[in-house]
Chain A
Amino acid sequence: MKNEPLLCLPGQRLCLSDKTHTSGQGTYERQGYIYSMLAGTVDIVEKDGVQIVEVHTKGEQTIVPVQGDIVTAQVYIITQQFCKCFIKCVGDTVLRRHFRGVLRREDVRATEKDRVEIYKSFRPGDIILARILPITEAHTYQLSTAENELGVVIAHSEHGHPLVPISWTEMQCTKTFVKEPRKVAKVVPENPKDMET
């Protein structure tokens, strides 16, 4: 990797598109060439002998959640059938505008789906980690927490004190020691190597 970053602007022709170069994030292909669609710096990622040309902008990116993304969301309404959330972050990017998401009862956990009760899994105000499901309905993202690593990460008890996880179904208040049911996420560090150092 060169030290000097390579600048590019929208519509700038970057290189020929052939067997060894393909267009990646932030670029598009037209008539055999790869063009940039952002103002930023050029990155070349090598994968299986193919060079993927990517363009990244520094600073904030324009991002919308897509299927398969892990998002951080806040619950604001719960009903018997589903709970509604605001999506606040996609991956580690904080969104400026919040998107609406819906987590249905059958997507809360992977096993014993019909015995799930929403109010025993989430409460309004909880911060959850969830995965985006394929979009079937316009305007709302379908979410799922049916994985061990997904579920409630930050929550407060009825009295407003922080809760700490004690099992994958329960959390305990730090002040009053009241136990509350939740679908708790097993938080794992994204990059285990960082933890070692």
Chain B
Amino acid sequence: MALCEAEKTFVLHGVEENFRIDGREREDYRPMELETSIVSHAFGSARLRLANTDVLVAVKIEVDIPFPEKPNEGKIEFFVDCSANATPDFEGRGGEDLAIELSNSLSTAYQSSRAFDLSKLCILKGRKCWKIYVDILLLECGGNLFDAVSLAVKAALWNAQLPLVKSVHVDGNNIEMDVSEELYDCQKLDIKNAPVMVTVCKIGDYCIVDPNQAEEKCSVGSIVVAVSGDRLSTVLQTGAGSLHPTTLVESMKLGHTVGQRLNQALWEALQQIPEDQDVGFLK
């Protein structure tokens, strides 16, 4: 997306007047659409649409061996796939940098045990644990990917069903696990504190949240704040610009308050999803 100087000035003036090009205020989000349990082969899945951004997240769970340095913990890994469906730029290895940036930010945000407790994924210390694969597919890019991806990941993890292990037998080197045969006998993951990311963009002298593509082009610098509960789990700068320390602090404060609100809104939305819904895209 290319913008000329006049268009950039227009966006900038809108931000200054607290009346952005799509009519929002500086701290407003665009409407979102969230669906869960849409991929039947996955343990949990979610699709989030935020204006033109469309993200599909599926969670797969496998049995693995814990890291020797962390025998009590399970594993979680994030993979981002920038599909060429989203923009032709992603063709081949085009989206690789973006994918790495997104998956790195997710894994640092989930790193602390306060944000996501990996020790609950341990089956037998040092021998067996659950490994969660979170696969993120970008179907359409309309700006603000970090926020959309983190919300979708949280929803998919909420939706995920961890098989219930009834008992574990150790026989020499063999480990036998007895998994409950009842199909609906599952555990839910604890994601109350899973981080939600907020991108704060600085345009002119003001900071905004949820930038669309045009606004992303006008920003001089932006930071991503991952909020877990009332704490910050990750803050990172994106894009090429630099910020004054005071601006940095201001935008972190903004991200912090907005993140908590967003988290609350997501939680309420998740509670409204009925337990026994059908699986599939067309419900």
In the complex, are there CB atoms of A and B closer than 8 Å? Answer: no
Measured CB to CB, the residues of B under 8 A from A are none
Q: Which residues of A are at the interface with B, using a C-beta cutoff of 8 A? A: none
